[in-house]
Structure 1
């Protein structure tokens, strides 16, 4: 079969199986990306979650020696939650980023790509195909940019003409030599809204991200969160959408195409206090089906404590004290002490002082001291 005809059949089939956008790219080396990644490495801007070497991330033939083309696909996800529950003084809520709403997109994306691969295999029996979704070595964004899905914005997201940047990306490497699609012109222009709005200054310049300062990354770490970022994450328990929300290309963009990506209110905006002493089983039952659960409950619970401190939620003091006294994890005990100090009630300060007498972990004691330091000098006894 002629590849032009096959390409058209693949495009038509992609629409039938719920792929919102599809593009075709060459499997040539991503030379510009390779230099950018080396620079990121030198500057220590990487998150540490990246998979593979720089060569594996930029040379498709290392992943599939017969590679001739890469097919990039995009699935649109919602940017607004219908009838979203409000966070009230009596019932504070956290927030998962939009990319974690609904069923884990890795599952949905892999389903679409595997169907696409099976379709191609049927048409080209001796074809070789490799499916990749986010956790693979290739840069989804670099592939999508080359395949004409969208352009790479200053916020480092792929911005599509149709769906803005609220899209999930995945790709399929194949040995079929398809004619590549044309890239989309960059239309960020002189706009710097994402750079200006980033809470931590993680967008160093247009298109360059210091992942070590990015809230989306920081909410996924498992150690104590550095002090300078604690006031920045607010009530975010996983991820950050600021650089996308402020983007003019996302103005009024809100697609509810895939039922799988619709947010569940009590999952996407969970009540904070019940999350503090949630068991592993409860956590998996409640959050196990969303992408935001991949790092386990520890970072989520640490962020929950920070959010309650941010809110100065006095209704949570008793529960946070229980966590500080009984949780076996130093990061959680220490963050609980910090949160109590941030909330600042007399009961909270007294609890920290008493807990210090029985705490032998140096880091936790240091956090307890930070908590006590929030106490106004005039009220110390």
Structure 2
């Protein structure tokens, strides 16, 4: 028996070495981004992912509940709903990509209330569960998922497909936030922002890995572009037209955010009209560690929550501390108001207030303005 086990181990090792020689694409494109399982099924709760990547705000309508449904029933119901909606959906005219530097967003001539459920279906079809689903605010956010790029299937990969899925891991996770902004009654702007996490090894003095922690990694605008293109195709645009719009030349963007400090008070000056400043601040919040709970465009107010990463940096790492119940009072996110105020035809100022609408003239308020200035200047 030991001899047989050694032979099996040697055989599997040889096959794995051969499979590693198979070439893979390295350029980020629509066909190298795949968050689904190899079978293409919609994912249920991913128990193989560390619990520190599971948000506490999950909408339980999109998670399989014990005793209420089997995974096969869940998958069948999801596919049936998606097929039914796809069969009656017609292409949406008047779609276009707007761009400012590396920032892209989709403009659709359709009311947000009609567009929202189609975008929700889109994320589920791409292998995600929603952890935030708020039609009233036009905000949805996916859970953390691993990108498993599609590769050519040779006989080795086909034979070891299930084994490779279980033993290989990229050590990276992504989640996506979608925000719908109503510009006109029949026109909606759609923003998609990506957040990334990477698993890093914490080593001792000898260089041996003691344990791993999850930490943030830079935003990837190209991943955002991939899903904007896919969304355009899902809404009825041809692949060629969607690719052409995504690939349009970037508009040269000049720095326009300045942090101004006057005594204990501070604010950001923006050299833009209110409409553009409102959009840019919204994107800056999406890309930072803010959670937009609500917004009031007519008064220029974003109602946000913020978690200070410096307060959550123990050995477990940022994500485990953020979602741990060990000390909820210490890790509870604080609420703020981010105010966008027009000061002229082509100028605005941005302020931070506390939850009661009073000026946040504290080190925390200055830190938040510094983070926003950094994002607005990119």
**TM-score normalised by the chain length of structure 1:** 0.28
Higher-RCO chain (CA-CA 8 Å, sequence separation at least 6):
1
Which structure is higher in helix share?
1
Which structure is higher in strand share?
2
